[in-house]
Amino acid sequence: MTMGERRQTLSIVVPAYNEEEVLQSFHSRVATVLNAVNMDAEIVYVNDGSKDDTLHIMQQLQQADVRVAIVDLSRNFGKEIALTAGLDHAHGDAVIVIDADLQDPPELIPSLIETWQKGYDVVYAKRLSREGEGWFKKATAHMFYRVMQSTGRVKIPEDTGDFRLLSQRAVKALLQLREQHRFMKGLFTWVGFSQTAVPYNRDSRYAGETKWNYWQLWNLAVEGITSFTTAPLRLATYIGLCTAAGAFFFGLRVIFKTIMYGNEVAGYPSLLVVVLFLGGVQLMAIGVMGEYLGRIFNETKHRPLYFLNRYEPSKNIKPE
């Protein structure tokens, strides 16, 4: 660094909800990595309405490490909003998003920085393996990414979570998107700019329990699909067209049989099956439209994304 050049700065954004069992170990590993990085750094911990001792541990970490900043949300808003709150309060030239559960190794951070310094705006960590996860979760995750690849206009990278580095201009672009229904993996990709992958092997969770059950993962998948593609609406349309065409040809068949062989008494089981099938198709189509309508309803309220209890900035990086 020559005379007059400003030292580059790095922000680490860490959303946390009930992570008291792992937070100190996480911080220890991140601090070790940052000690070897030639950048000024801050670690922005976001307390997403934790009900355990997570906030108290964050405050202890801040007393021991001047690089720690704390964003304390007024309640649990969910991980996607917590990520946004952390990005709102990050001041680095580069910002890294990482979970606190140590499935994503902090030791990969230097590789992300090195790739960013080659000129990329977004450097995402791509999973080669997923330790500690069952076959069903792996299979459904594989299916979700392939569905998004094939149906969405935004091609979300396969086998990629939130763990990534964003340049300052990518963060500024991302923070202009203030939609209520936030699927961050899609938004990271939607902003564009130059993006590349750094492969890694994902570890099993270090301690504690995952905050994501299958129902929550299903809702997140629905959020992602409805946020970045209208394919479900088109699918409902196509199913309706196919059903109508089938009904039309079935009607022709009934007319033909009546003319050729006379009027037959319709069977009750077949009538019941047809009525239930058509009713099910209609309800499915209404449900798909309802999902999109509900999102429109929420967006028109223009509510703030979150509220803060407090923000305690890092003493290591001052906002410009």
Tens-level pLDDT at each residue, the chain (320 residues): 444 566 788 999 999 888 888 888 899 898 898 888 888 889 999 998 888 888 898 988 988 888 889 999 988 888 888 999 999 998 888 999 998 888 888 888 898 998 988 888 888 888 877 665 555 666 666 666 566 666 666 677 777 778 889 988 889 988 888 887 777 877 888 888 888 888 888 766 555 555 555 555 556 566 656 666 666 766 767 777 777 666 666 666 666 666 666 655 555 556 656 676 777 677 777 777 777 777 777 777 787 888 888 898 887 766 66
Neighbour order of strands in the sheet with 9-16: 195-202, 122-130, 160-167, 94-97, 9-16, 40-47, 68-73, 308-312
Domains of the chain, residue spans: 9-216+305-312, 231-300
**CA count, 13 A, side-chain hemisphere, 81:** 20
- Please give the Cα distance from 32 to 45 (Å, whole number): 17
- Please give the Cα distance from 237 to 231 (Å, whole number): 10
- Indicate yes or no: pTM above 0.75: no
101, 22 in Cβ contact below 8 A? yes
- Please give the Cα distance from 176 to 123 (Å, whole number): 20
**How high is the pLDDT of residue 2?**
47
Give which of 102, 300, 144, 310 is closest to 229, Cα–Cα. 144
Spatial neighbors of 130 by CB under 8 A, at least 6 apart, are 137, 138, 141, 202
**How high is the pLDDT of residue 185?**
79
Number of H helices, E strands in the chain: 10, 8
**How high is the pLDDT of residue 96?**
92
Instruction: Output the six-digit token pair for 259.
Output: 């003319």
Burial class (CB in 10 A: 0-12, 13-18, 19+), 170: buried
Q: Taken in order 312, 11, 94, 159, is the CA torsion positive or negative? A: negative
**How high is the pLDDT of residue 222?**
62
Spatial neighbors of 192 by CB under 8 A, at least 6 apart, are 173
Give the architecture-level CATH label for domain 9-216+305-312.
Alpha-Beta Complex (3.90)
Q: Taken in order 209, 212, 214, 215, is the CA torsion positive or negative? A: positive
- Please give the Cα distance from 166 to 172 (Å, whole number): 10
Distances (CA, A) of 169 to 172, 194, 297, 316: 5, 11, 31, 21
5: helix, strand or coil: coil
**How high is the pLDDT of residue 155?**
73
